[in-house]
Structure 1
Amino acid sequence: MDRIIAAEVYNRICELGSLSAAARALGMSRPMVSRYLEQMEKWAGARLIHRSTRRLTLTPAGEKTLQKTRNLARLSQEIEGQTQRNTPAGVLRVACAHFTAMQLISPILPDFLARYPQLRLELDINNHPVSLVGERIDVAIRITDNPEPGAIARRLGECRSVLCAAPAYLQQRGTPDTLAALADHNCLHYSHFAGQAWHFSDAQGESHSVAVQGNLSAGISSLLLDAALAGCGIAMLPWLEAQHGLESGALVPLLAGYQPKSLGVYGLYLSRDYQPGALHLFLDEVQNRLISPHT
């Protein structure tokens, strides 16, 4: 058996605390992972892991071996990375929500794939967070205030929102001039946020919240955009989603003195030691999209 692969498997077992989790993360069968662990113990000449029904614990020899296998993995990646940084290849599995796929990833795809023809992207588009280990995801792009614990979170930028409505709706229902006035309007909700409250900051940086209600909620912002354009109500939309409607006059921004709360955009992955060569190149592209949305 390949000792470098055996070291990689051992590192994953230690990192995830389970042979089954390591098998899922590496795309191997559990018996294969067990065989690589046995190979590592033969190589080290000592028992490396105490196995029990509840958890795995490292022996003193296992602790020392882990330090060495991590160094071996880094050295292997440095050698491999000299080529991969210039010509990444293979598969990069990316998890994201519908908005992220359409507004952040879709615009960068033509140039990115043309520059790296040996790379294949697999997008798992799901508006509910997926397990990075269970679904064998290399990186997830998430818009959140609270990146999940246990993952490495690289902040790529922020997702700004705008409060807006169609002129036809405002002509019929009037234009709100205070946050409190939103309670008298049909507000189109994003259903994945807990509670039906919208959060703002004023020019002095003070936070404000207002409870809202309406006859439509959806987990896809593009549907809320379509409803707002059709005059169904007031929506809080990602600026990238609403941009065209605002610039064309099909949507009107509201309550200029209050800025809807922004959320962070993060690239989440499980380990600094096991990354496809394209991972950081891909995250760089998403970050550039957030910095320069018109390019």
Structure 2
Amino acid sequence: MDRIKAAQVFVAIVERGSLTGAAEALDMSRAMVTRYLAEVERWASARLLHRSTRRLGLTAAGETALAYCREMLGLAEQMALVADAEAAEPHGMLRIACVQSLAQAAVARAVAAYLQRYPRTAIDLQVDGRTVNLVEERIDLAIRITNQLDPNLIARRLARCASVVCASPAYLAAHGTPRRAEELSAHNCLTYSYFGKSLWRFTHDGEQLDIPVDGNLSANESLVLLEAAVEGAGIVLQPLHSAAALIASGCLVALLPGYQPQTLDIYGIYTSRQHLPATLRTLLDFLVEWFATDEGWAGLHEGFPR
């Protein structure tokens, strides 16, 4: 039985002067009150009440048990205040895992703004292209770009991530410019090891196209592929936040107007919904707000599906 509840029942019996009075005060059957009293006496290994036809009286052990039960109930009330105190002002360390491209383009700025809003918090940002094990590596939050979530994970969508197909002017001069998505199969396409290595997905005139691609270079970090594309190694499919500045500067050329590459979601992934720390809860709320309102990010993705 619940010992906190049993302690509450014992205190009510003493304060009301009878089992019937305690049952009425707690909206409980008298039989249940009797069971809880028996539980407290088994717990204390002593008889706690003198019973007579007129009144109940505490034994010496009962006096001691009453003091302990009241102290325990007071501590239980204090535990209920912990979450409220934390919610009032988030504090403590969070460990976050994120891929390099998104960390550089957005997450570093977002967490810097979060830390300014909540100065009692701290963040350890782990930048890595691989998928980390949150439990084994003590990661509080993993920020991932994906449309293929593990059903065993708990995730909150933070934003959308548009993509763009691009190549350097030098590559296009040497190999020609594809005008249709189907022509990508004849080009050297630089592929990401963890996602869509052989299939790039587009929407064109309301229809979905799955285009098989191949090339002589793949990598597990998208920024490596981006740099290789700048050097003329081939055609690359990149998050818009990584390629936009290089396209604006002329180092890369955006390809296939009219073909919309698959838009991915950015998720915050964590291990449990129960007892979510205020620091993690406020960070998730903050990131959703930040991605929606930051001029650099929101302006970059304006016009893309959200």
The question of a shared fold, defined as TM-score above 0.5 by the shorter chain, is answered with yes
| Alignment check: 8 A CA contact 2:130 2:220 kept | no
The aligned amino acid for 1:128 is R
- Is residue 2:201 matched to residue 1:186? no
| Alignment check: 8 A CA contact 1:92 1:276 kept | no
| Alignment check: 8 A CA contact 1:166 1:231 kept | yes
What is the CA distance between 1:149 and its match in structure 2? 2.1
| Alignment check: 8 A CA contact 2:191 2:197 kept | no
**Shift in alpha-carbon separation, 1:76–1:141, aligned structure 2, 3 A:** farther
Counterpart residue number, 2:278: 277
- Is residue 2:93 matched to residue 1:80? no
For the pair shown, which has the larger CA radius of gyration, 1 or 2?
Answer: 2
What is the CA distance between 1:121 and its match in structure 2? 0.7
Instruction: For 1:91-110, list aligned pairs within 5 A.
Output: 91-110=93-112
SS at match of 1:255: coil
Question: When the two structures are superposed, what TM-score results if normalisation uses the length of structure 1?
Answer: 0.69
Task: Name which of structure 1's ranges 111-120 and 213-222 shifts more when overlaid on structure 2.
Answer: 111-120
Paired with 1:270 and 1:229, the residues of 2 have a C-alpha distance of 38
Paired with 2:99 and 2:162, the residues of 1 have a C-alpha distance of 16
SS at match of 1:135: coil
What is the CA distance between 1:184 and its match in structure 2? 1.9
Counterpart residue number, 1:253: 254
- Is residue 2:188 matched to residue 1:168? no
Question: When the two structures are superposed, what TM-score results if normalisation uses the length of structure 2?
Answer: 0.66
Counterpart residue number, 1:52: none
Measured against aligned partners, the alpha-carbon deviations of 1:157-184 in whole angstroms (never above 9, x if no partner) come to 2211100111222112111011221122
Paired with 2:78 and 2:178, the residues of 1 have a C-alpha distance of 61
Counterpart residue number, 1:203: 205
| Alignment check: 8 A CA contact 1:145 1:264 kept | yes
Counterpart residue number, 1:51: none
| Alignment RMSD (CA, Å) | 2.7
What is the CA distance between 1:148 and its match in structure 2? 1.7
Measured against aligned partners, the alpha-carbon deviations of 1:201-260 in whole angstroms (never above 9, x if no partner) come to 1131x1111111212111111111111122221110000001101222222111111111
| Alignment check: 8 A CA contact 1:200 1:209 kept | yes
**Shift in alpha-carbon separation, 1:227–1:195, aligned structure 2, 3 A:** closer
Task: Name which of structure 1's ranges 221-230 and 131-140 shifts more when overlaid on structure 2.
Answer: 131-140
**Shift in alpha-carbon separation, 1:250–1:293, aligned structure 2, 3 A:** farther
The aligned amino acid for 2:253 is V
Counterpart residue number, 1:117: 119
Instruction: For 1:1-295, list aligned pairs within 5 A.
Output: 79-193=81-195, 195-204=197-206, 206-291=207-292, 292=294, 294=296
**Shift in alpha-carbon separation, 1:259–1:194, aligned structure 2, 3 A:** closer
Paired with 1:78 and 1:104, the residues of 2 have a C-alpha distance of 36
The percent identity for this pair of structures is 40
**Shift in alpha-carbon separation, 1:259–1:280, aligned structure 2, 3 A:** same
Task: Name which of structure 1's ranges 280-289 and 139-148 shifts more when overlaid on structure 2.
Answer: 280-289
Paired with 2:83 and 2:162, the residues of 1 have a C-alpha distance of 35
Task: Name which of structure 1's ranges 227-236 and 142-151 shifts more when overlaid on structure 2.
Answer: 142-151
**Shift in alpha-carbon separation, 1:123–1:139, aligned structure 2, 3 A:** same
What is the CA distance between 1:78 and its match in structure 2? 6.8
The aligned amino acid for 2:248 is E
Task: Name which of structure 1's ranges 233-242 and 115-124 shifts more when overlaid on structure 2.
Answer: 115-124
For this pair of structures, how many residues does the alignment match? 226
Paired with 2:193 and 2:139, the residues of 1 have a C-alpha distance of 25
What is the CA distance between 1:77 and its match in structure 2? 8.1
Counterpart residue number, 1:14: none
| Alignment check: 8 A CA contact 1:104 1:286 kept | no
What is the CA distance between 1:84 and its match in structure 2? 3.2
Paired with 2:149 and 2:231, the residues of 1 have a C-alpha distance of 34
Gaps of 5+ in 1: 5-41, 46-74
